[in-house]
Copies of this chain bind each other. A is one copy, B any other.
Amino acid sequence: MRLYDNRSSGNAYKVRLLLHQLGIPFERVEIDIDRGESRTPEFLARNPNGRIPVLEIAPGRHLAESNAILWYLAEGTGFVAEDRRGRAETLQWMFFEQYSHEPNIATPRYWITHNLLTPEREAQLPAKRKLGYDALGVMETHLADRAFFVGERYSIADIALYAYTHVAEDGGFDLAPYPSVRRWLDRVAHEPRYIPITA
């Protein structure tokens, strides 16, 4: 498999982490998103939405959207629940991640670490900060009496939420008031075959 990847992206890291934990060999193709490499005609033929990660799952056959890729890789493995309710709860947390968490926690990190903080974006930060802390609050409540997000087992729901939570401080978030989240981050980082986002 070939992964169209970006070193700084948490969405791409989700896929690298799971591929590594599953022991699936893959080729990495680094896409420089700052230089528009995800918007070239060649790239848009792979993903018309112009975003990484994209996984080539068969020759010429590409899959986009990090959490859909996680699902594709995890089906039939121990990384996703076997029962119908557990699978739906896994997806519930993955949609929560893309709608309520990623736009508020990952986007400020991207703007700040890629030097893209225009005055217009600066004006959006307080609203994003509030919504990001709301999302962390939802996670804290859920994890108060649980080891992992679904079925007391490490799964792709944890991978999806871990990717940008563990680097939330890059975007100016303080995780100190979220002790259950911090304990969960530590549990994920001690899973077998874990690799850091920098790997």
Interface of A toward B, CB cutoff 8 Å: 48-49, 57-58, 61, 63-69, 71-72, 75, 84-85, 87-89, 91-92, 94-96, 98-100, 102-103, 123-124, 135, 138, 141-142
Contacts and interface: CB of A to CB of B under 8 A. Distances in A.
A25 to B, nearest CB: 19
Contacts of A57: 85, 88
Contact of A92 (B63, B88, B103): B63
B65 A84 contact: no
A85 B61 CA distance: 10
Looking at A57, A58, A91, A141, the one whose CB has the most chain B CB atoms below 10 A away is A91
A71 B88 contact: yes
5 contacts: A49-B100, A63-B89, A65-B92, A65-B99, A98-B98
A87 to B, nearest CB: 7
Given A75-B84, A85-B57, A102-B99, A68 B48 contact: no
Nearest to A58: B85
A72 B49 contact: no
